[in-house]
């Protein structure tokens, strides 16, 4: 038999390697769904043989939420994993002591189960209701309520007594700068800003204050005005018709409102068809409570 030439051996080796690589690739492709699932949800630790996976850490992070907010991702993951390890260890010890067989534990477990079922179902109902169409309808209704509403931009000086207010008014008549005088004399927290209150609507101030502020022309200063907070001297800087913010500016607040209203309506609907008996109150107290018809939230000021 004629020995194979070096070139033939090299070609043969290349063919074997290529076939092996192709086989590995085919195996990887065949196994890829399970393999990818394992890679996406790796085992991070084992406690007495019980696995803790990445999905367990993610769930715990969601549940523990606010307490982890200030941690960087690496520290958060480490702390949550340590917590889950301890939880597994302690839970096993509790099982060994038959804690789960106690009546009080079963009662708390049932409460937790019902609460989780309620939260999950209401979350589904809230998300289903929060469509762009529903949110835009709420926005349009609220925008109609505030379009054209008048706003006033004013400053004020707040003092405790009428005599102090009259003294301030005299200084202003003599030409004192309102903002500078507010910094020196006003007891209001906004004194450092020269008494600037920004823009506000009538219902955002106490009636006595609003009545005077909205009656004044821009640039004019009021006589002393008494309210529950003390005595005010008011200067109106400008007036304008209120414009609603854009939909995108208030979308988060509207989304929250639509979600909560949908959840409230859903609970009211379920309660209508439920037989509720209150043993601690007269029969009429067990009647379904009316749905909380929350007012459509007016979009926030610009």
Say whether pLDDT at 290 is over 70: no
Say whether pLDDT at 4 is over 70: no
The predicted-structure confidence for 231-284, as pLDDT tens digits, reads as follows 999 999 999 988 888 999 999 999 999 999 999 999 999 999 999 999 988 766
143 and 260 in a single domain? The answer is yes
Residue 115 lies in a domain: no
Domain boundary among 212, 241, 270: 241
Domain boundary among 197, 217, 241: 241
Domain count, the chain: 3
CA distances from 288 to 50, 114, 261, 273 (A): 47, 20, 17, 9
Mean pLDDT, residues 172-186 taken together:
96
Query: Which two structure tokens, joined as six digits, stand for 90?
Result: 């302690």
Mean pLDDT, residues 116-126 taken together:
97
Residue 279 lies in a domain: yes
CATH number at residue 61: 1.10.8
Looking at residue 144, what is its pLDDT?
Answer: 86
Say whether pLDDT at 1 is over 90: no
Mean pLDDT, residues 12-35 taken together:
42
- Contact 230/138 with Cβ under 8 angstroms? no
Does residue 219 come out as left (phi exceeding 0), alpha (psi in the -120 to 50 range) or beta? left
Looking at residue 71, what is its pLDDT?
Answer: 86
232 and 166 in a single domain? The answer is yes
Looking at residue 286, what is its pLDDT?
Answer: 52
Tally Cβ neighbours within 10 Å of residue 150: 12
Say whether pLDDT at 289 is over 80: no
Say whether pLDDT at 59 is over 90: yes
Looking at residue 284, what is its pLDDT?
Answer: 60
125 and 264 in a single domain? The answer is yes
Residue 266 lies in a domain: yes
- Contact 296/138 with Cβ under 8 angstroms? yes
Looking at residue 205, what is its pLDDT?
Answer: 97
CA atoms within 13 A on the CB side of 15: 6
Across the strands, what pairs with 158?
232
The predicted-structure confidence for 190-214, as pLDDT tens digits, reads as follows 999 999 999 999 999 999 999 999 9
The secondary structure of the chain as a DSSP string is -PPPPHHHHHHHHHHHHHHHHHHHHHHHHHHHHHHHHHHHS-EEEEETTEEEEHHHHHHHHHHHGGGGTTS-HHHHHHHHHHHHHHHHHHHHHHHHTTGGGSHHHHHHHHHHHHHHHHHHHHHHHHHHH--HHHHHHHHHHHHHHHTT-EEEEEEEEEESSHHHHHHHHHHHHTT--HHHHHHHH--SGGGGGTTEEEEE-GGGS-HHHHHHHHHSPTT-BPPPEEETTEEEEEEEEEEEE--PPPHHHHHHHHHHHHHHHHHHHHHHHHHHTS----SSS-GGGGSPPPP--PPPPPPPP-
Mean pLDDT, residues 160-172 taken together:
97
The predicted-structure confidence for 221-231, as pLDDT tens digits, reads as follows 999 999 999 99
Q: Which domain holds residue 188?
A: 148-241
Residue with the bigger pLDDT between 3 and 40: it is 40
Query: Which two structure tokens, joined as six digits, stand for 16?
Result: 């074997």
- Contact 106/65 with Cβ under 8 angstroms? no
49 and 197 in a single domain? The answer is no
């Amino acid at each position: 038999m004629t020995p194979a030439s070096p070139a033939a051996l090299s070609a043969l080796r290349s063919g074997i390697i290529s076939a092996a690589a192709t086989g590995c690739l085919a195996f990887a492709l065949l196994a890829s769904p399970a393999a990818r699932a394992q890679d996406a949800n790796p085992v991070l630790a084992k406690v007495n043989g019980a696995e803790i996976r990445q999905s367990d850490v993610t769930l715990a992070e969601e549940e523990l939420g606010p307490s982890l907010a200030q941690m960087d991702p690496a520290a958060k993951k480490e702390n949550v994993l340590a917590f889950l390890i301890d939880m597994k260890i302690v839970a096993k010890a509790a099982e060994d002591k038959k804690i789960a067989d106690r009546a009080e534990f079963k009662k708390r477990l049932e409460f937790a189960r019902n609460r989780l079922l309620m939260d999950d179902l209401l979350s589904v109902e809230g998300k289903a209701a929060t469509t762009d169409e529903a949110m835009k309808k709420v926005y349009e209704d609220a925008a109609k309520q505030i379009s054209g509403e008048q706003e006033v931009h004013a400053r004020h000086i707040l003092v405790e007594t009428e005599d102090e207010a009259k003294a301030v008014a005299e200084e202003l008549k003599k030409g004192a700068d309102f903002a500078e005088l507010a910094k020196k004399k006003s007891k209001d927290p906004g004194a450092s800003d020269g008494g600037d209150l920004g823009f506000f609507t009538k219902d955002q101030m106490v009636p006595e204050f609003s009545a005077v502020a909205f009656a004044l022309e821009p640039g004019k200063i009021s006589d002393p005005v008494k309210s529950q907070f003390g005595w005010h001297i008011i200067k109106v800087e400008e007036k304008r018709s209120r414009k609603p913010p854009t939909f995108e500016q208030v979308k988060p607040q509207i989304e929250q409102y639509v979600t909560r209203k949908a959840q409230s309506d859903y609970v009211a609907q379920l309660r209508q068809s439920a037989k509720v008996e209150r043993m601690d109150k007269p029969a009429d107290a067990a009647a379904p409570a009316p749905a909380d018809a929350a007012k459509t939230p007016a979009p926030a000021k610009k």
